[in-house]
Structure 1
Amino acid sequence: MTDAARRPAFITGGSSGIGLALARQLAARGHPVALFARNADRLAEAALSVPGARAYPCDVSDRSAVEAAVAQAESDLGAPEWAIANAGIAEPGTFLTQDIASHEAQMQTNYMGALYFAKACAGAMDSGRLVFVSSGAAFFGIYGYSAYAPSKFALRGLAEVLRVELAPRISVTLAYPPDTDTPQLAAEARTKPEVTKKITAGGGLWAPEAVAAAILKRADKGRFAAAPGLQMAALLWLHSLAAPALRAWQAGIARKHR
């Protein structure tokens, strides 16, 4: 396929981090890019750094806003070849101290936002790739993530179903990024309990560009799971077997901090 014939890539959470890295790499392949994010100013600045990209400000937690933004992007650029649901928020905290509104916000953005976006894109895609960006928190319960982890577990469930339902027309990939040097990770650290910091340490810090390249490599091959790095790969293949040991290990760390 020539560059001129390439269909667009639609990416949520495209104003920074992994989303922006994905946008740059797909634009380098010749795909027109539509970026979606809630902060219009940051999104416009990001779009300027991606050749030919267009900005479509919207909050993915708002279904009507997502549907309108995707419809406008499809009108401008055509149906996407790549639809990447990358937008997400993470606000760690312990269950008894965290406000219920935080639980609602993370489920609404991380799961419902991805659902709204996938639903808006998939109907118009004759073929292509649908990518969901999840988290290692989707593998097993992690102390401090009672609001975040369920949203990523739900996203994993959605991807598992769509993998079957949309095949072979649309290839579905579910990505599990390791800790990545992004504004979201920095924001997450502000509320992360000390126990959670201990539990999640040790996986290293990846550059967004490396994570984006790993995700695209797996999606290009039609693979369902993209788990960059040894830690994520081990969780992908062994999380069910390792779950009892992981729970006991976390319990030991929590006891030391009480």
Structure 2
Amino acid sequence: MTDRQYVAVVGTNSLADALRKQLSPVNGVEVLDLQEAKTRSIPLHIVIETSNLELAEKKAGLQSLEKYIAGDTLILSSVLGATATQAASWLSHPSRLVGFAAFANLEQTELIELCAALQTDAGYAKQAEAFFTAIGKETEWVEDEVGLVFPRILSMIVNEAAFALMEKISSAEEIDTAMRKGTNYPMGPLAWADELGLDDIYAVLSGLHRDMGEDRYRPAPLLRKLVHAGWLGKKTGRGFYVYANQDAKESIV
């Protein structure tokens, strides 16, 4: 980037934390919060909105942030739990919203999936792609559906593993070992879900189930219970496994 980009990351979840960490050392990017930008009278170029789980919260957050930014500021909105088109419909200026899908493991992520809402102007789409390219990420444009591609497919695999665990077909360790060795996945699906955050996995499945109305997207009751309990995986110390420290773990079932 040759010109300084002022960027605000909105959210208190793991994805927001990961984005701030990823963007802070990037040359030409200054990460601010909305209030700081307003106080310093700094015009933001990009706002990244990260809420996923509760639609009402996402809608209120998007509408609130418009009070802090100019009408032409690009909004990048996480589409793990809602489509970009739905998110854009809540804005006064819907043409400036572009959807993206990423889990919180951004340091290990080479590719960011992007989608245009039906309302998105082509100029904002180009700006979104240029931004992610400039911070070292590959981009791929896909159709605007909840979860896009990788998060959707991985969440479905995790959900099936959660059903298998709940139905006592096998233990968590055995399920993960079978999938890791049988498919050459880098991690088993249950441990992988714990690494990424069960709340984001649940958001994708809930959004797909709500939008598609098909039972195959119904979140496993065990997954739902873990999220409701606040047991979101490694970041909270327990999910499908209990973590005594960053390395050691034992399954909950």
| TM-score, L = length of structure 1 | 0.41
Higher helix share: 1
TM-score in terms of structure 2 length: 0.42
